[in-house]
A and B are shown apart, each in its own frame.
Chain A
């Protein structure tokens, strides 16, 4: 960005037609802490494992689930600092949308915008791709709930339920078994917590996970107390 001496892209094709930098970025994602999301007709839940290096870390100050507009939120797996750049850009772009149209940016537009930024970093001079995959929960222009995944390449997918990061294959299998089209949000939150617990190293509690929910058209990050209530119900 800015005054780069590099006018050439660092992401170049291999002989086999792959963009290795993107593959490596996906590896960084696969090594990141697990995140997952489930989309139901009455809401969306996204959650992540917040395990940190040492018990001395003030874990409540770490924020991985972030609000972008009052009806959309992000969570990620991968490189934290890269994520924060994307959150900043997404927030700015959705405020610009509101300034022009007077309305909250629908989640599909936010996703396209963010994906477009991530794609730029695979085809611009002197930069590397973002080492994160995002899970985006929100409400769309037609009023319906949506869950999207956005990858370092800029590719995006709509999901009914998905998981990314460490152990994502097991988590996705678990979700596939339990997902139902007519699921309600409360069931989805329970399922999300059960899925997280499946691959959790050590004991899962209301402080070492983070949960975000889209409910009645509004996004909120659950407090540890609210998470504890759900965990108690699950037991």
Chain B
């Protein structure tokens, strides 16, 4: 039993034309037993940054609170919003500080930088970061997620097309994974705001 597979998760973030999307499933399980079908794994940190936290649920929630704390302090002291690059760097440092007793979370960061250009990054549980221009995935079915993204992704999609692509990639991936699924949520972030839609998927 792997601790990162105890609760189950599937998430994708993708870059479009001057927009980003981030999607995640809704399942919270305790190994085989499904406990909740509306568990939140994607969190809005500010107007420009969303973070997806997949892994052990207790660490998902604790890390979210730690990030809220750090972000709040930053905004109070600096009197400005954090950019996604800074957030991602901070998250990486936070995770490495727990190198020998880590948070069992593999996060993905999606946002728009100060020039409203897409920013995507993901990292492992000890903070090794990867920045990409197309998509990032995390969870218990990353094999499926990579396959679907690689197949469906096209660069410079507009917001509505990005939504469709994200939704189809997520739903098809979780269907072959027992530990993720039970619905989905997709956030599309543009400079004008965030649109959030719930996905209807197989409830199994």
User: Which residues in A have some Cβ–Cβ distance to B below 8 Å?
Assistant: 99-103, 106, 108-109, 112, 141-142
Contacts and interface: CB of A to CB of B under 8 A. Distances in A.
A94 to B, nearest CB: 14
B70 to A, nearest CB: 9
A112 B79 CA distance: 13
B80 A142 contact: yes
Given A100-B90, A102-B88, 20 more contacts: A99-B93, A101-B74, A101-B86, A101-B89, A101-B90, A102-B85, A102-B86, A102-B89, A102-B90, A103-B85, A103-B86, A103-B89, A106-B78, A108-B78, A109-B77, A109-B78, A112-B77, A141-B79, A141-B80, A142-B80
Interface in B75-110: 77-80, 85-86, 88-90, 93
Contacts of B77: 109, 112
Contacts of B79: 141
B43 to A, nearest CB: 19
A151 to B, nearest CB: 20
Among all A-B residue pairs, the 9 with the closest Cβ atoms? A102-B89, A101-B86, A141-B80, A100-B93, A141-B78, A103-B86, A101-B90, A100-B90, A101-B89
A68 to B, nearest CB: 17
Contacts of B90: 100-102
A108 B76 CA distance: 12
Nearest to B82: A101
A103 B80 CA distance: 14
B45 to A, nearest CB: 14
Contacts of B93: 99-100
7 contacts: A102-B85, A102-B89, A102-B90, A103-B85, A106-B78, A112-B77, A142-B80
Contacts of A101: 74, 86, 89-90
Contacts of A112: 77
B89 A100 contact: yes
B75 to A, nearest CB: 11
